[in-house]
């Protein structure tokens, strides 16, 4: 059982969001998971150019750290996303990562995986950012085990409580991976989404050759 944490904070070891990501990973580790932490600000993720090459070949024309990071995500059973609130959204490196995953969205490549998100904010908006990151994970095919958001500016002591909740979330994530917790409503949503993207890929199979092959190999093409 492998759980990976991706933190998008420019503050390095002084990041408050880092504390939440590490708490989730610690909870998962207590349940037997092998964990890995990635500081997104130490990587170079270029902006998507919308060239469409990934749809056709499964490869990206940009030479940076994205491919290695994506391989590490694909090799994980659970994904933890962490970001501070930047104007009710994620910082640019996290958004750049999301934008590079269009092929993975079409192919629903995180199907069978589980995810959660954490966010710290000064005054507000933490819930919106957690919701956005979890929606991205769900759009990629993952089931969502939960999320933690905390506004530290309103209560500096709130971070400690949030760390305790994040540790519990990590345990929940690991139990979900083991199959102890199930998400039938999310499973049905993913089934419908796969059917939608299957039709999209089928109608564009000349341009989306890689994706058509993916759906065929997965046994999802109808």
Over the chain, what is the mean pLDDT? Answer: 96
Q: Which domains does the chain have, with CATH numbers?
A: 2-182 (3.40.50.360)
User: What pTM was estimated for this model as a whole?
Assistant: 0.96
Q: Are 35 and 3 in contact (CB under 8 A)?
A: yes
Residue 11 is classified by DSSP as: T
Q: Are 102 and 136 in contact (CB under 8 A)?
A: no
CA angle 3, 113, 63 (to 5 degrees): 75
Strand partners, 147: 117
Task: Tell me the per-residue pLDDT of 87-98, one tens digit each, with 9 for 90 and over.
Answer: 999 999 999 999
Is 3 buried (19+), middle (13-18) or exposed (0-12) by CB count in 10 A? buried
Task: Tell me the per-residue pLDDT of 57-108, one tens digit each, with 9 for 90 and over.
Answer: 999 999 999 999 999 999 999 999 999 999 999 999 999 999 999 999 999 9
Task: Tell me the per-residue pLDDT of 8-33, one tens digit each, with 9 for 90 and over.
Answer: 999 999 999 999 999 999 999 999 99
Task: Tell me the per-residue pLDDT of 118-159, one tens digit each, with 9 for 90 and over.
Answer: 999 998 999 999 999 999 999 999 999 999 999 998 787 999
**pLDDT for residue 9:** 96
| Paired tokens of 97 | 């990562």
Within a 10 A sphere around the Cβ of 202, how many other Cβ atoms?
A: 14
Strand partners, 10: none
Q: How does DSSP assign 95-109, residue by residue?
A: HHHHHTTHHHHHTTT
């Amino acid at each position: 059982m492998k759980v990976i944490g991706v933190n998008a904070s420019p503050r390095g070891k002084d990041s408050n969001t880092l504390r939440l990501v590490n708490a989730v990973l610690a909870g998962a580790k207590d349940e037997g998971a092998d964990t890995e932490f990635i500081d997104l600000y130490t990587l170079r993720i270029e902006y998507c150019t919308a060239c469409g090459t990934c749809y056709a070949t499964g490869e990206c024309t940009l030479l940076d750290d994205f491919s290695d990071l994506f391989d590490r995500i694909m090799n994980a059973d659970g994904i933890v996303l962490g970001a501070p609130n930047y104007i009710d959204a994620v910082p640019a490196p996290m958004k750049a990562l999301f934008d590079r995953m269009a092929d993975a969205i079409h192919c629903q490549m995180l199907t069978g995986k589980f995810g959660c998100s954490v966010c710290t904010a000064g005054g507000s908006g933490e819930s919106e950012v957690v919701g956005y990151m979890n929606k991205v994970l769900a759009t990629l095919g993952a089931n969502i085990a939960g999320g933690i958001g905390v506004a530290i500016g309103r209560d500096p002591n709130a971070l400690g409580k949030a760390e305790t909740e994040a540790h519990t979330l990590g345990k929940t994530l690991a139990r979900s991976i083991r199959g102890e917790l199930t998400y039938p409503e999310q499973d049905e949503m993913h089934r419908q989404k796969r059917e939608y993207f299957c039709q999209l890929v089928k109608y564009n199979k000349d341009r989306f050759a890689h994706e058509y092959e993916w759906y065929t190999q997965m046994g999802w093409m109808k």
